[in-house]
Amino acid sequence: MAVLNVNPTRMEMKRLQGRLKTAVRGHKLLKDKTDEMIRRFIELAQENKRLREQTEQELCAALNAFADARAVEDERVVEEAILIPSRTITLRCSKRKVMGIEVPQMQIDDNGGELYPYSFLTVTPKLDGSLRGLNAVIVKLVELAETEKTCNMLAEEIEKNKRRVNALENIMIPQLTETIKYIKMKLDENERAATVRLMKVKDIINR
C-alpha cells in the first residue's frame, strides 16, 4: 500500500491519526448501517414476494371472471355495462424515510360511487365478481408498487454503502496506517541521528 505524500512531522502524524480514528469509526457505523439495511431489505423482499403472489392470484381470478362474463353474455352488452365508470379513486403520493432514505408512500382515497355501474338484471353475475375482484386488487397493486420501489431504492443504497465500506476498509484505512508508520519511522530515524550528532559534539567538546 503506497503511503500518502506528506511531510514526516509530528503535527502531520497527529492530523493523520485523527483522520484514521474518524475513518475507523465511520467504517463501523457504515457497516452497521449496511447490515441493518440488508435486514430491512430481506423483510421487504419477503413482503414484496407475498404481495406479488396474492396480487397475481387475485388479478388472474378477476380477469378469468371477466372472460367468463364475456363468454356467456353478449360482448356488446358487457362493454356497454362498463363503458361509463360510476366510481372514482384518487391516489395520494407522499414520502417517508426508511433508514434515512426517502421512499414513496402511496394511499388510495375512495371518492365513493357505485361499484356496479349497471343494472343487475342486464348482465351475468360473473361480471359482478370480476368488478369486485378488480376493485380489491387495486389496493394490492398500489401496495406492491410501493414495496417494490422501496426494495429497489434500498438495494441501490446498500450497494453504495458497500462501496464506501470497501473503500475505507481496503484503501483509506490501510493507506493512513502505513503513512503513520512511515512518519513514525522517519521521526525515529531523525531522533537517532540527532542523538548521534549530540554524542559526537560531546566527544569533541570533551577532547
- Least confidently predicted of 7-11, 14-18, 78-82, 153-157: 78-82
- Which conformational region is residue 46 in: left (phi greater than 0), alpha (psi within -120 to 50 degrees), or beta? alpha
Confidence of residue 4 (pLDDT cuts 50, 70, 90): confident
| Global model pTM greater than 0.75 | no
Confidence of residue 27 (pLDDT cuts 50, 70, 90): very high
Statement: 24-200 belongs to CATH 1.10.287.3240: yes
Q: Which residues pair with 110 in a beta bridge?
A: 89
Cell digits for 97? Answer: 424515510
What is the C-alpha to C-alpha distance for residues 127 and 66, in angstroms, rounded to an integer? 6
pLDDT for 72-124, tens place per residue?
Answer: 666 666 666 666 666 677 788 888 888 888 888 888 877 665 565 655 556 66
Q: What is the pLDDT of residue 99?
A: 80
- Residue 196 vs residue 34, higher pLDDT: 34
Collect all residues with Cβ–Cβ distance below 8 Å to 138 and sequence separation of at least 6: 89, 108
What is the C-alpha to C-alpha distance for residues 176 and 168, in angstroms, rounded to an integer? 10
Beta-strand runs (E) in the chain: 87-98, 101-113
Angle between helices 125-167 and 10-72 (to 10 degrees): 170
What is the C-alpha to C-alpha distance for residues 62 and 131, in angstroms, rounded to an integer? 7
pLDDT for 175-190, tens place per residue?
Answer: 999 999 988 988 888 7
For residue 166, the number of C-alpha atoms closer than 13 Å in the C-beta half-sphere is 6
What is the C-alpha to C-alpha distance for residues 151 and 37, in angstroms, rounded to an integer? 10
Evaluate if residue 207 carries a pLDDT over 80.
no
